[in-house]
A and B are shown apart, each in its own frame.
Chain A
Amino acid sequence: MNIDKKIADDLVANDISFVTTVPCKQLAGVIEEIDQRDDIFHIPSNKEDEGMGLCAGAWMGGKRPAIIMQNTAIGVTINTLATLIQFYRMPLPMIISYRGELREPVACQVEMAVHTKALLNQLNIPTYHFHWQRDVEELDNILKYTFMCSKPVAILTDANFWGGYGDQ
């Protein structure tokens, strides 16, 4: 299975047409895939809170948005998640590369990994963790759930899911 293609297919099938990204090595393939899709407008942002602002605007303009980012960005976006996305009750699927988990080669990444689920939990953000490739089968349901409840929802995708950081 090509998970990059599967993720992009699920976004399109759920009418998500506005995607902002800040890259992570693990996300390179899916970002490239999204760039090639005619039915998705891809707008790179310079910081993830900026990206969430873009998504909020796009949603109010009638488009379904998504953000693709690294888990370290949870540290960047807490204020935006609480005071914009949650306070105004907006849906936002967050496809997040979960660095610092099993098969991670860079020690510094572990420092935010250990806080990631605790922070999401503290924010009452529904959180899913993709560890095996087959976990991607849940994505379609998660996207539907996100727009049903109008909340930010986190999908953490670790190195094992992506086939290993070093050997992908």
Chain B
Amino acid sequence: MIRSEILKEIAPILRDQLVVCNIGIPSQELHAIDDQPTNFYMLGTMGLASSIGLGLAIAQPKTVIVIDGDGSVLTNLGTLPTIGNNAPANYILMIIDNGSYGSTGDQPTYTGMKTDLAGMARAAGCDNVVEVQDVDTGAALQAAIDGGTATVMVVKCDSGNAKMPVITMDPVVIRDRFMKSVAG
């Protein structure tokens, strides 16, 4: 499965949750599949989805699901120790590990070679790290939501992108409707 197929499958689970979504095609795909005010789309700032989600999870009690990418976690590796030492129970980091920089044309990342993100997360202090195959994502995500502990999911899937339109929504509108959903 590629990322967009996973997102289609888990859209009904994501629908009622606060979601912080990674820059580029992941956000475009989620936006096209099921746009919700509870989705915070990153339009830039590669790497910070996991950090934004962590700040959000600490600041308020609702479950926060971060949809991140292998390339983005690799560029902000300092996030893993911060998550490992601070993540509250309502924090779920779901790394779509397609072994590539998907948005920029599927250039390979090191996770498709010798680098193991789940091992790195564990070494950074994340207690609950699960490795998931693409077809099992929905069940694993639901288990993480129901489990009530901070979870890092590393979802192994194929590289590839669906053709979706660029998000043209104003960033302040994205942020404002998201904040209203957080507070509501």
* Chain A residues proximal to chain B, CB less than 8 Å: 18, 41, 43-47, 49-63, 65, 79-80, 82-84, 87-90
Contact = CB atoms under 8 A, between A and B. Distances in A.
A86 to B, nearest CB: 9
B183 A49 contact: no
Given A18-B59, A45-B78, A46-B81, A61 B54 contact: no
Contacts of B57: 57, 61
Contacts of A89: 171-172, 175
Interface in B160-181: 171-172, 174-175, 178-179
A56 B52 CA distance: 6
Shortest 10 CB-CB distances between A and B: which pairs? A57-B55, A61-B59, A53-B51, A46-B78, A83-B44, A53-B48, A57-B56, A54-B55, A58-B55, A61-B60
B48 A49 contact: yes
Interface in B18-43: 20, 40, 42-43
B130 interface: no
Contact of B56 (A50, A60, A79, A84): A60
Contacts of B51: 45, 50-54, 56-57
A79 to B, nearest CB: 6
B103 interface: no
Contacts of A90: 175
Interface of B: 20, 40, 42-45, 47-60, 76, 78-79, 81-82, 86, 171-172, 174-175, 178-179, 182-183
Contacts, number: 116
A20 to B, nearest CB: 8
Contact of A62 (B47, B50, B59): B59
A141 B55 CA distance: 26
| Best-surrounded residue of A59, A61, A62, A84 (most CB of chain B within 10 A) | A61
A61 B55 contact: yes
B123 to A, nearest CB: 14
Contacts of B43: 83, 87
23 contacts: A43-B58, A45-B51, A45-B78, A46-B82, A49-B45, A49-B76, A50-B51, A52-B48, A52-B51, A53-B48, A53-B54, A54-B54, A54-B58, A54-B82, A56-B52, A57-B52, A57-B59, A60-B59, A61-B55, A84-B45, A84-B48, A87-B44, A88-B171
